[in-house]
Amino acid sequence: MTTITAASGILEDPSLQPKLRQIGEKIISGKRISKEEALHLFEDGSLAFLGAMANHVRESKHGQKTYFNRNFHIEPTNVCVFSCKFCSYSRLYAHREEGWELSIDDMLNIVKKYDDQAVTEVHIVGGVHPKMDIHYFADLLRKIKTHRPGLHIKGFTAVELDYMFRKAKMSIAEGMLYLHKAGLDSLPGGGAEIFDPEIREQISADKVNADGWLAIHAAAHALGMHSNATMLYGHIEKYEHRIDHMDRLRTMQDETKGFNCFIPLKFRNHDNEMSYVPESGIVEDMKMYAVARIFMDNFPHLKAYWPMLGRQNAQLTLSFGVNDLDGTIDDTTKIYSMAGSEEQKPSMSTTELVNLIKQAKRKPVERDTLYHEIIEY
Ligand code: V47
Ligand code: SF4
């Protein structure tokens, strides 16, 4: 007996465009779609079609399981040598009195605040401060590990790492090994933005380019570390640029298998040099998640980062391919509130996250950073 799923059912619709039916058949039989097919999905796929296809992929990989973790962030500084046009958060060194610069003790005290809480991960990411070098951060990593050895440290975007390594005159491999030995467990996905050189030049000139970003993640994977990958979408890029970005990541993942999850980040336009660019709407957001789930077939997880998207929209993504919502956060990050997210003090208890997932008729599972399951609710 053949089971009719929402995805196979939609292919029976006689009014479905033949090309979409052909792509849909590929998706349902677990075949990889091409860049040209992904473009066709973006341009011609209805939300209902994309949702059914992405959900098919999501449920084949994870069933109803939806992951979250208990985490908090440390943002060492918002002083930054770069001035990305989309960034609402950074301050130049010359204006550092308007920003913040945390000492090692300040950061260790943040970690100590969680001594009696069951958090499993600290996410450390901030601006690229000209005076906070690799040794400063290695010292921080060692002190955190001495204080709480079991806490997973996911830290530093490839942009921060590239600057640290160059300043220390270390190769990527040397710098990565040095930080890994000091306690760095994995890398977050930030700094990827859009890999296409022309778009990148317009929104974040000067910082590490696509090849440099990928080389840093490859070096982490070579040491057995895992990492995430992001993409900043919904600004001046076109669908082709999103697909090129995802294709470079998919190609590298075929080789290293070190990426855990892909995180599309919706551009927020409050109080930055790109405020004239309107934000994407909800339909565009859901299409983005759905195409990402379908195209990135070798990425185990697709994450919606709720502090950026808002918790209700993040809940909706659970029907468009997403199987991970990141974590409890505990109001420890400012990047998105400063860029205009509806989450001005991002914090969710485990009960709130569990209820959010259950309302969407999915199964909440607390995970650690590497997706080992901790509690099924
Ligand atoms: O690289 C900055 C983005 C990123 C804006 O790996 C903006 O688990 C939208 O990468 N509108 C840093 N986005 C955050 C990041 C991240 C977040 C959560 C989880 C993980 C993970 C990684 O934030 C930057 C940039 O792409 N960003 N400003 C803005 N106005
Ligand atoms: Fe600096 Fe990161 Fe902001 Fe760019 S996005 S200006 S690198 S803090």
Give me the helix-helix angle, 210-222 and 172-182, nearest 10°: 50
91 C-alpha vs ligand 2 centroid, how far in Å?
9
Residue 62 has pLDDT above 90, yes or no: yes
Nearest to 41 by CA among 21, 12, 60, 61: 21
Residues with CB under 6 A from ligand 1: 86-88, 157, 188-191, 193, 228, 230, 232, 263, 265, 267-268, 272, 305, 326, 335, 339
pLDDT of residue 3: 57
Ligand nearest to the CA of 235: 1
355 lines ligand 2 (CB under 6 A): no
Calculate the average pLDDT of the chain: 95
Instruction: Give the nearest ligand 2 atom to 157 CA.
Output: 2
**Mean pLDDT value of segment 158-162:** 98
Pairwise CA distance, residues 331 & 9, whole Å: 43
Instruction: Give the nearest ligand 1 atom to 229 CA.
Output: 6
> How far from each other are the two terminal CA atoms of the chain, in whole angstroms?
33
pLDDT tens per residue across span 13-50: 999 999 999 999 999 999 999 999 999 999 999 999 99
Which residues, in sequence order, are CB contacts of 135 under 8 Å at separation 6+? 168
Instruction: Give the nearest ligand 1 atom to 266 CA.
Output: 9
**Mean pLDDT value of segment 347-358:** 91
Tokens of 87: 């960034």
Pairwise CA distance, residues 325 & 330, whole Å: 14
107 C-alpha vs ligand 2 centroid, how far in Å?
20
Nearest to 232 by CA among 258, 199, 270, 256: 199
30 C-alpha vs ligand 1 centroid, how far in Å?
30
pLDDT of residue 371: 97
Ligand nearest to the CA of 156: 1
Neighbours of 29 (CB within 10 A): 7
User: What φ, ψ does residue 83 adopt, rounded to 5°?
Assistant: -135, 75
pLDDT tens per residue across span 281-340: 999 999 999 999 999 999 999 999 998 899 999 999 999 999 999 988 888 878 777 878
pLDDT tens per residue across span 366-376: 999 999 999 99
Choose which residue among 75, 78, 81, 89 to substitute to test ligand 2 binding: the one with the highest number of ligand atoms within 8 A of its C-beta.
89
pLDDT of residue 333: 79
Pairwise CA distance, residues 285 & 294, whole Å: 15
**Mean pLDDT value of segment 188-193:** 98
- Among 4-18, 148-162, 309-323, the range scoring the smallest mean pLDDT is 4-18
pLDDT tens per residue across span 101-145: 999 999 999 999 999 999 999 999 999 999 999 999 999 999 999
Which amino acid, one-letter code, is at 8? S
pLDDT of residue 23: 98
Within the chain, residue ranges assigned H as helices are: 6-11, 18-28, 35-44, 47-62, 104-112, 134-147, 158-167, 172-182, 197-204, 210-222, 239-256, 282-295, 306-309, 311-317, 335-338, 350-359
Residue 4 has pLDDT above 70, yes or no: no
Using 50, 70 and 90 to split pLDDT, how confident is the model at 349? confident
186-187 and 324-327: which strand pairing? unpaired
User: What φ, ψ does residue 337 adopt, rounded to 5°?
Assistant: -65, -35
User: What φ, ψ does residue 9 adopt, rounded to 5°?
Assistant: -60, -40
pLDDT of residue 1: 46
pLDDT of residue 148: 98
Which residues, in sequence order, are CB contacts of 301 under 8 Å at separation 6+? 62, 67, 260, 261, 262, 323, 324, 371
Indicate which residue's Cα is closest to atom 7 of ligand 2.
82
